[in-house]
Amino acid sequence: MDMERMTFTTDRTTVTEGEIVEVRWDCPGAESVDLTIDNGYKTSVIPLEIGGSKRFRLNRSKGRTRLVLTAHVGGKGFSKAIKVKVKEIPVTRAETVDQRGNPMGWLKRMWNMPKWQAFLARYRQGRQAMPKEKKLASNLLMILGAILLLGTIFPILLPVGIFALACYLMWIVLKR
């Protein structure tokens, strides 16, 4: 086989990830032909006919995919290579907007999540069904938890919070 008679072309040498490249080849006199595709992450070898064309989608690549056509004749291999530049797909930052088209921050997105809203609805229903004593106990538990949390961050607030809790309890006792 004569190396000059072997042809190997692609329809383009620069693509964006996910686009298709058409490869054409003709290796007259070859016993077998294979195509090696190396994208920098993985190398694949595909057996081919002596001549023809094939289309390949070039997805992930380290910037360049190397296509090597090898024709085998009498135990010898004759190769031609083409490098195809593969550009990354431009990434577009997604943004969540409300009904009026205003951007929503992470806190507003979380508040508007259906699971969070369902949790709040269940909490409100459960709270309405509670007897007065349990409501009072859950209020005190939340206030005490807030005082302890703030007291660990700002120790000066611990006595102030305990005093405020005592005032709240006194108000409850005198209210009845």
Tokens coding 37: 């595709």
d(CA 52, CA 35): 12
Give the residue with greater pLDDT, 51 vs 122: 51
Please tell me the pTM assigned to this model: 0.53
Q: What is the mean pLDDT of residues 3-11?
A: 86
Residue type, 76: K
Q: pLDDT tier at 81 (50, 70, 90 boundaries)?
A: very high
Q: What is the pLDDT of residue 99?
A: 77
Which carries the bigger pLDDT value, residue 41 or residue 116?
A: 41
Helix (H, G, I), strand (E, B) or coil at 175: helix
Q: Please say if the pLDDT value at position 112 is more than 80.
A: no
Q: How far, in Å, CA of 70 to CA of 32, rounded?
A: 8
Q: What radius of gyration do the chain's Cα atoms show?
A: 36
> Residues of the chain with pLDDT > 70: what percent?
94
The amino acid occupying position 43 is T
Quickly state the pLDDT bin for 1 (edges 50, 70, 90): low
Q: What are phi and psi of 141, to 5 degrees?
A: -65, -45
Question: 68 vs 105, which has greater pLDDT?
Answer: 68
Question: What is the widest separation between alpha-carbon atoms in the chain?
Answer: 107
